[in-house]
Amino acid sequence: MALDPTTPRSRRALLAAAAGGAAAVAANAAAPLTVSAAPLPITTETANTSGAETSLADSGDRTIAFKTTNVGVAPTMLAGNAAGVATTAGETDPTDPGGITSAAGVYSYSVDKTDAVPYWATTYTGVYGWSPTIPDPTSFGAGVWGDSQDVGVFGTGGVGVRGDGFFGMVAVGTNDPLAAGLRTWGYDGSGNWTALDVRGKAKFSRSGRSTIGAGKSSLRVNLTGVSFSSLVFAVLRANRSGRYVRAVVPTTGYFTIYLNGTVTSSTYVVWFVLN
């Protein structure tokens, strides 16, 4: 209770109050330290250190939990994960093999991380991003989305970009006239190196097999996108003595395969279109 400055106090009352305060201080000093010290606030322009988790939980709807901006050549935010004490098997996850000393510098997820890989599996990874399958069948979830009017995602190194999965990579272009309809581009400006190297089977939608009927010497194949400048290759799929593909002539929307003569029975011809 605060003292009333207008009420006279005797010398004995003042001494008694002082003695009581001193006893309380002594009692607090002698009490066991069962409660840790209060956490210290993070201060600006200081290299704050901590041995425990520091987190920020934003329960607001449509509010930004954490925001940082910067100017100049230094990054807006720098996240690093240095190697620490190696884990033991099953220490952090039932599938943890043990011996892992670090995780990704940045580990992020969207909506739900139930099926995301465990922390230990992201060792030697700068950024790990995870998203579950989106309920909308017309869209898809994305662990990492890079967007730019120039290059959305840029990778350099021994392997600039690598994709593992049921589909290693899916390239879907837009109708942007600046892209000229380009979906995937393999480029070597010097002409001395390989722009595209396929190990395994390759499948092309602009290739196929058609049949030239008995008594016929030519076949028209309709195919969207074919033009006069298309390069079309064709070869007989069956051995017909004295017969071969004499010419393939492309035009708008189709091409015509010509043999050097008629065939006596139905004959397969396979074709492949470039451009």
Residue corresponding to tokens 């200081």: 46
- What pLDDT, on a 0 to 100 scale, did the predictor assign at position 26? 43
What distance, in Å, lies between the first and last C-alpha atoms of the chain? 91
114: left (phi over 0), alpha (psi -120 to 50) or beta: alpha
- What pLDDT, on a 0 to 100 scale, did the predictor assign at position 174? 66
**Are 271 and 232 within 8 A, CB to CB?**
yes
The Cα 243–Cα 255 span in angstroms is 19
- What pLDDT, on a 0 to 100 scale, did the predictor assign at position 37? 59
pLDDT along the chain (275 residues), means of 10: 44 41 44 56 86 87 90 91 88 83 94 92 94 93 90 89 84 62 77 87 94 96 96 96 97 98 96 94
**Are 257 and 236 within 8 A, CB to CB?**
no
Q: pTM, whole model, 2 decimals?
A: 0.67
Domain residue spans in the chain?
101-147, 207-274
- What pLDDT, on a 0 to 100 scale, did the predictor assign at position 3? 44
- What pLDDT, on a 0 to 100 scale, did the predictor assign at position 225? 93
The Cα 187–Cα 57 span in angstroms is 46
Which of 117, 119, 121 lies closest to 131, judged by CA? 117
Q: Report CA Rg, the chain.
A: 37
